[in-house]
């Protein structure tokens, strides 16, 4: 490569920028590492298309920030104006630097418009590319930001798109469609990531699946308004892009001020969606802030007691929790001032003396005497109208003071960017964590931000940044504190919030059948140790479905596991199974929380997924529907070492009893079988004849 190229290459992924242009560098390639020895001029010649008679002389290949100045007629990556002047920037590179094929920085400027942009690109050891653009207003008047996104091209054989819809209690419903000419723009204006988003938009080759095909994905690491888009122009160019979605007038830069995009993550895989996940998971696990201790088994009190807080009852629940092997006891909603239901108290972060005359100390001391950590639920960004906070400080709400937005769950949003509100929240949270030596906060966020106004203008951007600052400051004061991102379940799952939290709550529904899909698609972005997954009661309060305990335990196993159930009412048999499951989770979590997540491409009647490590693997096969044939499917186990022979054994307590009329396959009747990984991946194993809602969990160990 010559000095007119920038080449980033790591872990089989590569990006090539062409500097031989008067404008911003053109992106010649993003995808597989092209390897050494590629002639720069030949690659450039191979990438420049021919043209028809009506096309411009220099066809507009996508630049690092596609815009009309370089002939781009799609959605511009950068837009704004200086008091209605310079609506189209003409950025010219001033400097380009790169290091070790892993990072590059391009500084460009439109001198007439008074705008400088610094573009930072980092390709990490997992092959995940992180892009951030920072705009500097060097002019003498304000610059109104309209949009700034990170955009990269994808090849024309990326003909299909994958994205997600969803709702409360049923997040992450996959949507597949053709990648057609035009633009597919996925925008969230909820003030949080939203139940429908993993934050990933994926383009792929025809028929791509979990284990096959080429895929290109993009994710904006931001918790406010975002846009993810896929665009295919008539000229033949196709792009993926993402960034923050800005409201009119939301970001206006005074002279000397800057605006930085959130980190946008681009990831390529030639091994299907599992390959994409493997890169993302490896990238996240390499972070200095990634949880480094075993993920403790949790009991959360919500579905056990709801708002009915009583010291003796919670002590009894803690006793039972410790007896089954729980390591972290979390008190959910209902502990603070005036909080007997969801109509009042939110915002008043003081322990209620009517319920807790001695504070939380008696319960905290009891929990710690049992060898468990103590956690607490909070929702700092929200307040009920019936609260001291709102009554005494109505100006602390994120709204026009004369035009409150419609209530949502009987609550409004606190303007965290208001310095006084920020100071109050920091003082209260700091005091609570310090007084009780709290190990863990379940940090909730239970409404969309409608008509969010801060200081007279659109306020989601400043609200999101202020919440990040609040989390960062609290963590700096209490470095050992862990925080969960919960938002009506899985409505705030993104890599922006996860830069300062330790796990997400994937869904408010613990229905194990719905959770099969919710966790499968949440784990496309996040590794299992960052996804909260709990065993609930047999009757799920969200879906109303009744399920067996073996399935609930097996489903929770493949995440950061916990219990959300009044286990003081469990039968001896249920308690025995929970103890067995807790011991299995602790034994297997070194594998579950470091291994490669794999998923089989199956029909709608069943799912097969697992986690694979060196010489060790765990898989779960779940029947979702009644079979239409007599003989169950073969289980072809992906991701195994083809040259290793594995002993395959059903996991006790995590496999359903067969129906009375059914006879197991021969290997199941024997209780084990030994086969090479290549045989298990191709010929497979005969599945058990399960009814809908039943599970077979398998452990594989190298012989």
pLDDT at 77: 97
- Average of per-residue pLDDT across 657-666: 85
pLDDT at 433: 98
Neighbouring C-alpha atoms within 13 Å toward the C-beta of 98: 20
pLDDT at 514: 97
Q: Say what percent of the chain tops pLDDT 90.
A: 88
Tens of pLDDT, residue by residue over 408-424, are 889 999 999 999 999 99
Instruction: Answer whether residue 1 shows pLDDT above 60.
Output: no
Question: Are 298-592 and 600-702 the same fold in CATH?
Answer: no
pLDDT at 533: 98
Instruction: Answer whether residue 55 shows pLDDT above 70.
Output: no
Instruction: Answer whether residue 59 shows pLDDT above 70.
Output: no
Instruction: Answer whether residue 109 shows pLDDT above 70.
Output: yes
Tens of pLDDT, residue by residue over 326-338, are 999 999 999 999 9
Instruction: Answer whether residue 375 shows pLDDT above 70.
Output: yes
- Average of per-residue pLDDT across 533-538: 97
pLDDT at 53: 65
pLDDT tier, 38 (very low <50, low <70, confident <90, very high otherwise): confident
Residues forming beta bridges with residue 328, ordered by sequence position: 298, 373
- Average of per-residue pLDDT across 150-166: 97
Residue position matching structure tokens 């959910």:
332
Instruction: Answer whether residue 664 shows pLDDT above 90.
Output: no
Tens of pLDDT, residue by residue over 209-226, are 999 999 999 999 999 999
Output Rg (C-alpha) for the chain, integer angstroms. 27
pLDDT at 627: 85
| Number of Cβ atoms within 10 Å of the Cβ of 639 | 22
Spatial contact of 650 and 671, defined as CB atoms under 8 Å apart: yes
pLDDT at 2: 62
Q: Tell me how far apart the alpha carbons of residues 678 and 648 are, in angstroms, rounded to a whole number.
A: 14
The answer to which of 58-72, 190-204, 603-617 has the lowest mean pLDDT is 58-72
The answer to which of 191-205, 268-282, 295-309 has the lowest mean pLDDT is 191-205
CATH tag, 5-285: 2.70.98.60
* Helix extents (H) in 300-457: 302-305, 311-324, 361-369, 388-392, 419-436
Relative to beta strand 328-331, strand 298-300 is parallel
- Average of per-residue pLDDT across 248-254: 97
Query: Residue 144: which region, alpha, beta or left (left: phi > 0; alpha: psi -120 to 50)?
Result: beta
Q: Tell me how far apart the alpha carbons of residues 20 and 151 are, in angstroms, rounded to a whole number.
A: 19
Nearest alpha-carbon partner for 624 in 515, 539, 523: 515
Instruction: Answer whether residue 349 shows pLDDT above 90.
Output: yes
- Average of per-residue pLDDT across 143-164: 97
Model pTM above 0.75: yes
The answer to which of 59-68, 176-185, 574-583 has the lowest mean pLDDT is 59-68
Q: Tell me how far apart the alpha carbons of residues 480 and 329 are, in angstroms, rounded to a whole number.
A: 16
Tens of pLDDT, residue by residue over 254-285, are 999 999 999 999 999 999 999 999 999 999 99
Instruction: Answer whether residue 510 shows pLDDT above 90.
Output: yes
- Average of per-residue pLDDT across 54-74: 81
Residue position matching structure tokens 């934050």:
199
Classify domain 600-702 at the CATH topology level.
Answer: Immunoglobulin-like (2.60.40)
Relative to beta strand 606-613, strand 596-599 is antiparallel
Q: What are the residue boundaries of the structural domains of the chain, listed by start? A: 5-285, 298-592, 600-702
- Architecture per CATH, 298-592: Alpha-Beta Barrel (3.20)
Residue position matching structure tokens 């390959």:
275
Spatial contact of 196 and 173, defined as CB atoms under 8 Å apart: yes
pLDDT at 54: 66
Catalytic center residues: 444, 508
In degrees rounded to 5, what are phi and psi of residue 16?
A: -125, 125
Name the DSSP class of 440: E
The answer to which of 197-201, 302-306, 344-348, 374-378 has the lowest mean pLDDT is 197-201
Average pLDDT over the chain, rounded to whole? Answer: 95
Instruction: Answer whether residue 623 shows pLDDT above 90.
Output: yes
CA distances in angstroms from 135 to 72, 478, 633, listed in the order given: 20, 33, 55
């Amino acid at each position: 490569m010559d000095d007119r190229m920038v080449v980033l290459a790591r872990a089989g992924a590569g990006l090539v920028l062409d500097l031989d242009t008067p404008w911003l560098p053109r992106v010649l390639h993003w995808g597989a590492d092209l390897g050494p020895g590629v002639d720069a001029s030949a690659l450039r010649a191979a990438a420049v298309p021919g043209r028809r008679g009506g096309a411009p002389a220099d066809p507009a290949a996508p630049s690092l920030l596609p815009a009309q100045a370089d002939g781009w007629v799609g959605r511009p990556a950068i837009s704004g104006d200086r008091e209605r002047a310079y609506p189209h920037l003409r950025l010219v590179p001033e400097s380009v630097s790169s290091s070790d094929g892993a990072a590059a920085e391009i500084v460009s400027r439109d001198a007439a418009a008074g705008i400088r942009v610094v573009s930072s690109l980092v390709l990490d050891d997992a092959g995940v590319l992180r892009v951030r653009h920072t705009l500097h207003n060097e002019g003498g008047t304000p610059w109104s930001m309209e949009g700034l996104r990170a955009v990269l091209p994808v090849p024309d054989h990326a003909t299909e798109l994958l994205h997600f819809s969803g709702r409360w209690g049923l997040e992450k419903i996959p949507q597949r469609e053709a990648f057609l000419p035009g633009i597919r723009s996925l925008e969230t204006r909820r003030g949080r990531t939203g139940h429908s988003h993993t934050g990933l938009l994926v383009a792929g080759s025809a028929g791509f699946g979990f284990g096959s095909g080429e895929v290109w994905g993009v994710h904006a690491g931001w918790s406010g308004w975002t846009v993810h888009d896929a665009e295919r122009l008539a000229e033949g160019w196709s792009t993926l892009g993402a960034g923050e979605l800005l409201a009119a007038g939301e970001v206006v830069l005074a002279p000397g001020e800057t605006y930085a995009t959130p980190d946008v993550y681009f990831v390529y895989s030639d091994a299907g969606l599992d390959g994409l996940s493997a890169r993302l998971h490896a990238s996240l696990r390499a972070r200095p802030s990634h949880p480094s201790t075993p993920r403790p088994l949790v009991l959360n009190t919500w579905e056990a007691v709801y708002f009915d807080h009583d010291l003796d009852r919670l002590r009894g629940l803690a006793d039972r929790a410790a007896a089954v092997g729980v390591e972290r006891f979390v008190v959910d909603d209902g502990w603070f001032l005036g909080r007997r239901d969801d109509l009042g108290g939110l915002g008043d972060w003081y322990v209620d003396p009517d319920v807790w005359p001695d504070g939380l100390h008696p319960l905290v001391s009891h929990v710690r005497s049992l060898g468990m950590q103590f956690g607490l639920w909070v929702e700092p960004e929200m307040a009920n109208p019936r609260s001291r906070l709102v009554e005494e400080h109505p100006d602390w709400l994120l709204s026009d003071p004369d035009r409150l937005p419609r209530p949502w769950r009987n609550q409004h949003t606190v303007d965290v960017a208001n310095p006084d509100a920020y100071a109050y929240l920091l003082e209260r949270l700091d005091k609570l964590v310090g007084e009780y030596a709290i190990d863990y906060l379940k940090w909730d966020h239970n409404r969309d931000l409608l008509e969010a106004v801060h200081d007279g203008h659109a306020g989601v951007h400043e609200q999101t940044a202020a919440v990040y600052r609040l989390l960062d400051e609290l963590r700096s004061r209490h470095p050992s504190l862990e925080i969960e991102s919960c938002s009506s379940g899985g409505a705030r799952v993104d890599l922006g919030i996860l830069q300062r939290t330790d796990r997400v709550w994937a869904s408010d529904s613990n229905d194990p059948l719905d959770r099969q899909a919710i966790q499968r698609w949440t784990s496309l972005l996040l590794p299992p140790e960052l996804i909260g997954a709990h065993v609930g009661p047999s009757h799920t309060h969200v879906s109303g479905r009744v399920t067996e305990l073996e399935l609930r335990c097996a489903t929770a196993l493949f995440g950061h596991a916990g219990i959300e159930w009044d286990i003081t009412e469990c039968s001896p048999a249920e308690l025995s199974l929970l103890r067995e499951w807790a011991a299995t989770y602790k034994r297997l979590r070194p594998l579950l929380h470091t291994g490669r997540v794999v998923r089989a491409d199956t029909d709608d009647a069943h799912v097969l997924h697992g986690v694979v490590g060196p010489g060790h693997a765990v898989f779960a096969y779940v029947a979702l529907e009644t079979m239409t044939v007599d003989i169950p499917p073969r289980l072809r186990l992906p991701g195994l070492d083809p040259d290793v022979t594995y002993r395959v054994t059903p996991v006790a307590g995590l496999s359903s009893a067969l129906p009375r009329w059914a006879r197991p396959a021969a290997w199941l009747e024997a209780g084990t079988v030994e086969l090479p990984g290549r045989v298990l991946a191709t010929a497979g194993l005969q599945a058990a004849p399960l009814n809908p809602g039943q599970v077979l969990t398998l452990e594989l160990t190298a012989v």
